[in-house]
Amino acid sequence: MKEYNKELAKKQSLKSIVLILAAGVSACGDGSSSGGGTVVVPPTSSTPPPSPPSSTTCSLVNRQNFAASVLNEWYLFPETLPSALSPAAYTSVQAYIDALTATARGQGRDRYFTYVTSIQEENAYYASGATAGFGVRFAYQGSRIFVIEAFEGAPALAAGIDRGTEILAIGTNASNLVPVADILAAQGSAGVSSALGPNTAGTSRVLRISDASGARNVTVAKADYIMDPLSSRYGVKVIDNGGGQRVGYINMRTFISTADNQLRTAFADFRAQGITNFVIDFRYNGGGLVSTAEVMGDLLAGNRFSSDVFSVTRFRASKSSNNETKRFSPQTQSVSPVKIAFIATSATASASELVMNSFVPYIGVNAALIGSNSYGKPVGQVAIDQTACDDRIRVIAFAKENAAGQGDYYSGLAGTMRTTCAAADDITRPLGDPQEASLRTALDFIAGRSCTAIAVGQSAQSASTRTERRVLPVPENASTAQREVPGSF
């Protein structure tokens, strides 16, 4: 989850504090997701802009020391931090952060959720969805790679690559194509990321692909593009569920600020049509801004009181003055759900889990988890900036729970949601297709039909590493978009 929290920023006098709830997963696609010596504090409103950095200010050791100071002040699990750990043995800021958080990671509470990223890159993504790449989501299945989603306005879709396409081989030209199976066998998912090249506009690759039209070579160049959080093709639909029942469908890719007005427009239309049953498709949603999650919650809150609790935010004891309770605030566009089916997979994390968890105390068995168990991230990050070095430290600093105090779902939401229905993610059909397996099961739940429950005993993390399951890869040096939109390249 990610969000700019004005009240928190006011309390701390730090303009760059931003709350997020996002997976922040690390490399390997395993679902775990990767001047002078003074510490530079983000400027307050009365502080002039920093001077250009000196080499000393942004030396590796000073950047590492800044990261350590942020963790010592904000980390949600301070008791797990080492009492002393020299940064000298670590060759990057992230490697040092990983060493500092190793104990909490071993406990399953910080699965590479604390990391360093670029201020400029992150701001661009959260403000508009700006990123660079081919504009697809990949998923591994054994020794094969499939496209599970393609984004509008990006190069891959324009080249005819869409959901269900298999990538057979990768090369810089048609004469040096290397089979994907060989790359994975020799180098694993890191080898595929390397073969696809850097996420810079102009990087070109020849892909050998296979789809309903057969096998062929396609040349695609990466480009800058804007990721639409709600697809223009299938992001918002009204589906006829038979017997005169109409269902409002939302497929939400990511929680960024440009989604807010899209959601308001969609729910205003649902409300005008008198729709009271909904499918919210979060199947690949890795999270994002808390503020956008709260907008979605409010738009689903037409039958909630303003005294009803949406979520409770809890910081460590030394930061408890920042604890807050967010109550529902119904909007003019808000709908009054009778049933909500939330579609999820092991890639569904954080802000999307926050929305789902927040409705459990109110809708109970009429709020269902459809598909497979979610990722399991009931904690979120604040952003602390070292502006001179373009370093933003995303540090796990708060936990989220619902009105019933439920928030310890590190193994996914299958054990929290009152109703669950197992279903496959059928990539042979487009997203938003009522005959696609997960959406079909969601519509069956809305109609009152029975289903097979999702197994609670198996965590999303362990399930996602099984070779027969699809795994959404996240490269080691992931961009903000790749952290927030798992599998994107």
Residues of the chain with CATH 3.90.226.10: 236-378+398-458
**What digits encode the pLDDT tens for the residues 257-305?**
999 999 999 999 999 999 999 999 999 999 999 999 999 999 999 999 9
Residues 6+ apart with CB under 8 A from 303: 336, 337
pLDDT by residue for the chain (489 residues), tens only, comes to 544 333 333 344 333 455 677 664 433 333 333 222 222 222 223 333 445 555 688 999 999 999 999 999 999 999 999 999 999 999 999 999 999 999 999 999 999 999 999 999 999 999 999 999 999 999 999 999 999 999 999 999 999 999 999 999 999 999 999 999 999 999 999 999 999 999 899 999 999 999 999 999 999 999 999 999 999 999 999 999 999 999 999 999 999 999 999 999 999 999 999 999 999 999 999 999 999 999 999 999 999 999 999 999 999 999 999 999 999 999 999 999 999 999 999 999 999 999 999 999 999 999 999 999 999 999 999 999 999 999 999 999 999 999 999 999 999 999 999 999 999 999 999 999 999 999 999 999 999 999 999 988 654 444 444 435 789 988 887 888 998 899 999
Which of 3.90.226.10, 3.90.79.10, 3.30.420.40, 2.60.120.260 is the CATH number of 236-378+398-458? Answer: 3.90.226.10
For the structural domain made of 133-226, what CATH number should be given? 2.30.42.10
pLDDT for the residue 10: 36
Could you tell me the pTM of the whole model?
Answer: 0.89
**Tokens 């090369």, located at residue:** 171
pLDDT for position 17: 55
Q: Give per-residue pLDDT as tens, 232-255.
A: 999 999 999 999 999 999 999 999
On whether the CB atoms of residues 440 and 428 are closer than 8 A, the answer is: no
pLDDT at 483: 87
Cα 253 to Cα 135: distance, rounded to the nearest angstrom: 13
Distances (CA, A) of 146 to 20, 342, 488: 29, 24, 12
Contact between 21 and 400 under an 8 Å Cβ cutoff? The reply is yes
| Portions of the chain given CATH number 2.30.42.10 | 133-226
Of 6, 17, 8, 24, the C-alpha closest to 287 is 24
Report pLDDT for 45: 31
CA–CA separation, 23 and 238 (whole Å): 29
Cα distances (angstroms) measured from residue 200 to each of 179, 192, 221, 230, 486? 23, 16, 9, 24, 18
Distance CA 287, CA 30 (A): 17
